Chains A and B, each alone.
Chain A
Amino acid sequence: MSNQKKRNFQIEAFKHRVVVDPKYADKTWQILERAIHQIYNQDASGLSFEELYRNAYNMVLHKFGEKLYTGFIVTMTAHLKEKSKLIEAAQGGSFLEELNKKWNEHNKALEMIRDILMYMDRTYIESTKKTHVHPMGFSLWRDNVVHFTKIHTRLLNTLLDLVQKERTGEVIDRGLMRSVIKMFMDLGESVYQEDFEKPFLDASSEFYKVESQEFIESCDCGDYLKKAEKRLTEEIDRVAHYLDPKSEEKITSVVEKEMIANHMQRLVHMENSGLVYMLLHDKYEDLGRMYNLFRRVTNGLLTVRDVMTSHLREMGKQLVTDPEKSKDPVEFVQRLLDERDKYDKVISTAFGNDKTFQNALNSSFEHFINLNARSPEFISLFVDDKLRKGLKGFVDVDVEVILDKVMMLFRYLQEKDVFEKYYKQHLAKRLLSGKTVSDDAERSLIVKLKTECGYQFTSKLEGMFTDMKTSEDTMRGFYGSHPELSEGPTLIVQVLTTGSWPTQPAVPCNLPAEVSVLCEKFRSYYLGTHTGRRLTWQTNMGTADIKALFGKGQKHELNVSTFQMCVLMLFNNADRLSYKEIEQATEIPASDLKRCLQSLACVKGKNVIKKEPMSKDIGEEDSFYVNEKFTSKFYKVKIGTVVAQKETEPEKQETRQRVEEDRKPQIEAAIVRIMKSRKILDHNNIIAEVTKQLQPRFLANPTEIKKRIESLIERDFLERDSTDRKLYRYLA
């Protein structure tokens, strides 16, 4: 056979030449039908899988797939109808059990049948696009059992009943629940949702609606929240044990809506137990619970935040506008710090440091601190108190903590320039009286202010420190070049650069001879090395230490102001002096002189001078003489008062006026800066830009800005546009 041509081999399906015997199909089907019966009757042990499979295979092969398929459906349906009757007949608790049992049986049977009919599944059903065996088994169960009218509603009600029982505290068979509900899930998501989940959610909604109403009438806020939280936990637990995980979000939404969202306002505003009560009494646990529950619902946290904000603003407003509380500035500020600490703790402990709450806290404080126009002054006085004595003995770290807290309050101030003015005054007094507790603390605060406000804010303050340092050096140089002065009174001079220190009018006064000689020597020394400068003695700011010998031999060292020194030294040359004589000799202005004499003569324990008549006030007809009987248990007696104090009304007006005057050039500078870069700008925008630029220092008044604009127009820096009145133009 070597001549055979090469041919392509073809593999063809092996075609059985079989007799298409209709009876063959029937017979085969009968075998299978019987097998299905046996499977359903739990009597499958005697069956041969191989044989049944082959029978099914053959039917499909010989084009009897449809008969097989239809037969399978009909048979299974019949069985299921029977089963549902049995289930329906079950009484009470066993209803569910029966159902569950039958379902399990059906599943087992279905699997076996599916295995037997595998070939049909893969070929006939595939090509005809009919429903596969397994899903069909489920559909049939669904249609014939679950949706069987006598079962459908009863099943649902039974399940819901059990849930209800569990909610009221009874123990139920969770395993059974799980099994039955899993059945729904297996039958398909839409079956689960339609036949169970949706009714379940509706029933739950009803349940919680009623329950929440009961609770809200009978519980206080804290208890109610505890209950709500408990219910929420229970539902999550329920889902974990016997529901589809996808239901968790849905059921928790129901609880959140019914128990929290619907009663939000009432809960938050509850008298004597709501949010305000909790805040006032530091109920961290309850607050934390409220936060965690409310954050689950829309606008929940917004509600809490709003109530907290209005409470803070109200509380703050009362605090700052209460005249009682304004009497002691240090107390005033301490109270503010305490309140801030308190709410800070609430936010960090109970509200998880939520930034939006932090912001609400800050904006509330900013709002009410500025309701009291004296806040800037008071904060400066608080700092003054701390830097004088309050921080004594504090460790560095603690000092930083207090200063940082003060900076926090400072940031809230709208009128930072007012604070600057007072701070400068108080700092000057501290430096000159040598009364600062810690140089490091002073410097540290200046650095913080510089970081916050920029270089211009603190440059003058730093100038003050520099002057103090330079003065020390100057003094060394002075005494170095005048060794003969080491005997006699010691003069310590602080040379202050005029621009850096708060302006004080120089008050005239006649210094005692010993002192004025020294002063002149110093003046010549200083001007010798600093030509072109002008020195003016600030006699109203100085102090003196005088050694005094009294009638009975008491020796004391008196620490007094310069004015007081001038007055006292007069008594070295006269036993008794009238007011007029003192006035003439010292040339101290009347109001200062009266204050000075008052502190020397009318203060218990410090009255080194006596006055006639012994009235409280200084009269122009009074006369004075040394109090020879003066005693004090201390050798050193301090009489001068150069301590920073809360300003009197007229002083306050004056300071306010100076601040207003200082603001004018700043406003103008801002206007010019803006116009220079923009060239043309309309009115509203100028106001907005200027306000924004000045905001770190103070809140600019639109009327004041307008005034400055008009002034600049008059001085030809700006002009109005000739066609559009709203526009301004920069004139180079």
Chain B
Amino acid sequence: MDRIDHLFKHYANRSSSHLIDPEGIEELCSNLEVPHTDVRILMLAWKMKAEKQGYFTLEEWRRALKAMRADTISKLKKALPELEKEVRRPSNFADFYVYAFRYCLTEEKQKSIDIETICQLLDIVLGSTFRAQVDYFVDYLKIQNDYKVINMDQWLGFYRFCNEISFPDMSNYNPELAWPLILDNFFEWMREKQA
């Protein structure tokens, strides 16, 4: 326990001693030899149940490291692959997916995330499992004008889309059902391209 706290203090020593701030996280990342836009950092945040993007509290830090049984940087580094496997388990991934969206809501009462951030987030979170869907959808998001932000409902809709709809033929997609409209539009756009 002491060692975990000690490790925390190391990264938190810049501004305030109760929080690891973005600079601290950057140092943590370089120590872990993981790029700070890597999905594994996000997974770590998830494990911590970190509430604020870019900051880790002591409680959150303790939570993750205790669960991962890591009290040094090298142990933490070695625990990352195991963490990834844990997150990617279907029972956890849906939860992680929701978490990823919430994590990016930085302002109070914010409910949607701008397109650019969403594109990055999709890449990080789903890029390795649904490469094609993500690439095409990101393309679409960038050229369409109907939506400037994405909300949680649409975010979730896309995940369901990846899981349920065969791609790229999308033969089992029906725009008359309850899919979010943005996906209907994406579907139309894809069809036009394929024609």
Contact = CB atoms under 8 A, between A and B. Distances in A.
B111 interface: yes
B176 interface: yes
A561 B156 CA distance: 59
A703 interface: yes
Given A702-B176, A714-B111, A707 B181 contact: yes
Contacts of A725: 160, 177-179
Given A714-B111, A725-B160, A706 B181 contact: yes
A393 to B, nearest CB: 55
A726 interface: yes
A683 interface: yes
B191 to A, nearest CB: 16
Nearest to B154: A710
A426 to B, nearest CB: 35
Contact of A720 (B112, B178, B184): B178
Most-contacted residue by chain A among B151, B153, B179, B184 (CB, 10 A): B153
Nearest to A727: B178
A713 interface: yes
Contacts of A728: 178
Contacts of B153: 710, 713-714, 720
B99 to A, nearest CB: 16
Nearest to A709: B178
Contacts of B156: 720
Contacts of B179: 725
Interface string B153-195: 1101000100000000000000011111100100000000000
A698 to B, nearest CB: 20
Contacts of A684: 176-177
Given A720-B153, A725-B160, A710 B176 contact: no
B111 to A, nearest CB: 6
A727 B181 CA distance: 16
B177 A710 contact: no
A682 to B, nearest CB: 8
Contact of B151 (A702, A706, A707, A714): A714
Contacts of B154: 710
Contacts of B181: 703, 706-707, 710
B151 A726 contact: no
A220 B179 CA distance: 58
Nearest to A706: B181
A683 B177 contact: yes
A83 B177 CA distance: 87
B160 A710 contact: no
Interface in A715-731: 720, 725-728
Contacts of B178: 682-683, 720, 725-728
Contacts of A702: 176
Nearest to B156: A720
Contacts of A707: 181
Interface residues of A, number: 15
Interface in A638-691: 682-684
Interface string B112-130: 1000000000000000000
Contacts of A703: 181, 184
A702 B177 CA distance: 10
B47 to A, nearest CB: 23
Nearest to B185: A703
Most-contacted residue by chain A among B154, B178, B181 (CB, 10 A): B178
Nearest to B152: A714
Contacts of A714: 111-112, 151, 153
B183 to A, nearest CB: 11
A710 B146 CA distance: 14
A725 B179 CA distance: 8
A95 to B, nearest CB: 78
A710 B180 CA distance: 7
A671 to B, nearest CB: 13
A89 B178 CA distance: 91
Contacts of B184: 703, 706
B164 to A, nearest CB: 9
Interface string B20-57: 00000000000000000000000000000000000000
A687 to B, nearest CB: 8
Nearest to A726: B178
A702 B179 CA distance: 12
Interface string B125-138: 00000000000000
Nearest to A682: B178
Interface string A580-592: 0000000000000
Nearest to B111: A714
A53 B154 CA distance: 109
A430 B148 CA distance: 44
Contacts of A726: 177-178
Contacts of A706: 181, 184
Nearest to A725: B178
A603 B62 CA distance: 87
Interface string A515-557: 0000000000000000000000000000000000000000000
A720 B178 CA distance: 9
Contacts of B112: 714
B74 to A, nearest CB: 40
B171 to A, nearest CB: 18
Nearest to B94: A722
A713 to B, nearest CB: 5
A607 to B, nearest CB: 50
A184 B156 CA distance: 86
A683 B151 CA distance: 19
A452 B186 CA distance: 42
A684 B154 CA distance: 19
A726 to B, nearest CB: 5
A685 to B, nearest CB: 11
Nearest to A687: B176
A364 B151 CA distance: 44
Nearest to A728: B178
A706 B180 CA distance: 8
A702 B174 CA distance: 13
A710 B154 CA distance: 9
B30 to A, nearest CB: 39
Contacts of A713: 151, 153
A702 B176 CA distance: 8
A678 to B, nearest CB: 15
Interface string A172-204: 000000000000000000000000000000000
A726 B153 CA distance: 13
Most-contacted residue by chain B among A702, A706, A726 (CB, 10 A): A706
Contacts of A682: 178
A469 B153 CA distance: 52
A363 B151 CA distance: 43
A706 B178 CA distance: 8
A726 B154 CA distance: 14
A727 to B, nearest CB: 8
A648 B100 CA distance: 51
A704 to B, nearest CB: 10
Nearest to B164: A725
Contacts of B176: 684, 702
A539 B141 CA distance: 47
Contacts of B177: 683-684, 725-726
A682 B178 CA distance: 8
A710 B181 CA distance: 8
A53 to B, nearest CB: 93
Given A710-B151, A720-B156, 17 more contacts: A682-B178, A683-B177, A683-B178, A684-B176, A684-B177, A703-B181, A703-B184, A706-B181, A707-B181, A710-B181, A714-B153, A720-B153, A720-B178, A725-B160, A725-B177, A726-B178, A727-B178
15 contacts: A682-B178, A683-B177, A703-B184, A706-B181, A706-B184, A710-B151, A710-B153, A710-B180, A714-B111, A714-B112, A714-B153, A720-B153, A725-B160, A725-B178, A727-B178
Interface of B: 111-112, 151, 153-154, 156, 160, 176-181, 184
Closest CB pairs A-B (n = 3): A683-B178, A726-B178, A713-B153
